[in-house]
Amino acid sequence: MKTIKEINEKIKKGDAVVITAEEMIKIVEEEGAKKAADYVDVVTTGTFGAMCSSGVFINFGHSDPPIKMLKIYLNNVEAYGGLAAVDAYIGAAQPNEDPDVDIDYGGAHVIEDLVRGKEIELYAEGYTTDCYPRKDVNVKITLDDVNQAIMVNPRNCYQTYPAATNGREEKIYTYMGVLLPEYNNVHYSGAGQLNPLQNDYNPIINNYNTIGIGTKIFLGGGEGYIIGEGTQHNPPFGTLMVKGDLKKMNSKFIRAATMPRYGSTLYVGLGVPIPVLNEKIAERCAIKDEDIEVPIYDYGVPRRDKPMIAKTNYAVLRSGKIDLKVEIDGKIVEKTVKTGSVSSYKMAREVAEELKKWILEGKFLLSERVGTLGKPENKPMKSPITLVKDILSKPPITAPCNISIMEAAKILIEYNINHLPIVDDLGRLVGIITSWDIAKALAQNKKTIEEIMTKNVITAHEDEPADHVARKMSINNISGVPVVDDHKRVVGVVTSEDISRLFGGKK
């Protein structure tokens, strides 16, 4: 048994044996966990990925005359001002107020620009009081101009992040990147065998061997601390809440990004030194990618509880391809698809190496935790949900492919509808026509339904949230969608009128 105090003394003398988690795997394989525990003093870990739940508290100092800032914008990105007079919190995922910029430059980009020493524009306004007579302020500032810039990230360093695929017929844009239709790719995130929480996890107690409140860490290229369990902390899917001084960080390890059609995010480099106090810790620090199970979920289902498609591990995911057995059009299909990472293992390795270097040079000592991380708490929100089946117009009014345009027009008039799904002999959707299509057909002298119907039809399913269908209709600029079952048989239609009735009284 060793103690952190003893290890720190060895670090000060330059006698400590410090290795990365990758290197520990080989040592334990060759020498065994007991010898590794005797020989190795510290194992360094690292991760570098998109951590949307990140942000910075900034104190701007008082203006002359003073102002109590309420509405605060940094490079046109709003920061939260419901604090003291000149304190604010800017979140990484906050979009730009300019709709032409929107998610292309958000809170994460402001944070990176500050770390890079760039000048940014501060605009703030508030209400006047006797002690705060100023109404607004508009100045250019750099990180050196502010008193404090304290990064406080509510949720970083996911222990295991589920992988994502997409069972829909169209590609989707998510925080896991662009997912191709019909399960044609799988995206994953996380450092696996380099991840701090993987290397320190104790499954027997469902907690961590050494990591806790007060643990000193590598954060964004500077020193930081764990200040508690992160939000949605639920081991073995643990998370960390961390803090550090933005002024001491390095833009190499703090990088802004925008996920296409999703939003801005901040890539954060985070590493934790694990003191090898005993054989059990040494054994856990040799965990390998193939030992870490990763579930794959269908992000094409817009629900909180997404269906699990398969289970795999980081070794398979990092290989660049994976074999899936999935259901498409009611048939079980086996396919090999590409995998892609939305985090950087290369940068995670650099974090671990940099932390190792700091310790070997005596620049970084380990800290004793003052408390363990809190208990798991990841409950769902109590929120009402309206599904498509709750507002579905049925029975469905449909028509066969061989119907004439005139007959189709009569159906629309008879049933006072604007959308007519066209189906085959088995009731499966092959197209749709609207009253507008009929009008165009008459003007353009079209002869058959097949000439005027839309064949690539946007559809919905009965268990799909009505909110999602409303967004789908808005994005595609359409006023109705056929609702189909798993075999593409039409079971009803949802229109903009149905959606309006549902949301008409809501704010």
Strands (E), 272-330: 273-275, 293-298, 308-313, 321-328
**Coil vs helix vs strand at 505:** coil
Nearest to 322 by CA among 184, 174, 169, 173: 184
User: CB burial class (10 A; 0-12, 13-18, 19+) of residue 5?
Assistant: exposed
* Known catalytic membership, residue 131: yes
Quote the CA–CA distance of 198 and 179 in Å, as a whole number: 27
Nearest to 364 by CA among 355, 376, 353: 355
Strands 263-271 and 47-50: antiparallel
Tokens of 217: 């860490």
**How far are the Cα atoms of 260, 389, 498 from residue 476, in angstroms, in the given order?**
17, 21, 17
Quote the CA–CA distance of 110 and 101 in Å, as a whole number: 13
Name 388's Cβ contacts closer than 8 Å, sequence gap at least 6.
Answer: 460, 461, 462, 463, 464, 465, 466, 469, 483, 494
User: CB burial class (10 A; 0-12, 13-18, 19+) of residue 493?
Assistant: buried
Torsion of CA 396, 397, 403, 407, to 10 degrees: 180
Cis peptide preceding 65, ω within 30 of 0:
yes
Strands (E), 172-219: 172-174, 177-179, 185-189, 201-202, 207-208, 216-219
Active-site entry in 131, 157, 285, 401? 131
Quote the CA–CA distance of 247 and 146 in Å, as a whole number: 10
Please give the full DSSP string across 10-63, using - where no structure is assigned: HHHHT---EEEHHHHHHHHHHH-HHHHHHH--EEE--EEEE--S-EEEEE----
β-sheet bridge partners, residue 57 = 89, 150
Tokens of 155: 């949720």
How many Å from the N-terminal Cα to the C-terminal Cα in the chain?
A: 61
Torsion of CA 398, 402, 406, 408, to 10 degrees: 10
Cis peptide preceding 384, ω within 30 of 0:
no
Tokens of 83: 């604090």
The residues assigned a catalytic role are: 131
